Amino acid sequence: MLDITVKGAEAIEKAVRKVLADSWRTADIFKKDADDSAKLLGTKGMGAKVLEYLRSK
């Protein structure tokens, strides 16, 4: 059971890293002048984006 939980957590962490690597950001970590390619999402949008990345693996 723990192995399944760990694999799920690792998949989520990997999806979050990919979302961030593709310049998606929520307002609390968005810095326009630091990276002009950053794309702003709300928290619901960020959650949806992570799910999208999880489903596309």
Cβ–Cβ contacts within 10 Å for residue 46, how many? 19
What does the pLDDT read at residue 26? Answer: 94
Q: What DSSP string runs through 9-28?
A: HHHHHHHHHHHHHTTEEEGG
pLDDT band at 6 (very low <50, low <70, confident <90, very high): confident
pTM of the model: 0.81
Residue 52 pLDDT > 70, yes or no? yes
For residues 6, 11, 50 and 32, what is the CA-based torsion angle, rounded to 10 degrees?
100
What does the pLDDT read at residue 35? Answer: 58
What backbone phi and psi angles, to 5 degrees, belong to 15?
-65, -40
What does the pLDDT read at residue 3? Answer: 72
pLDDT digits (tens, 9 = 90+) for 8-44: 999 999 999 999 999 999 999 988 776 567 789 999 9
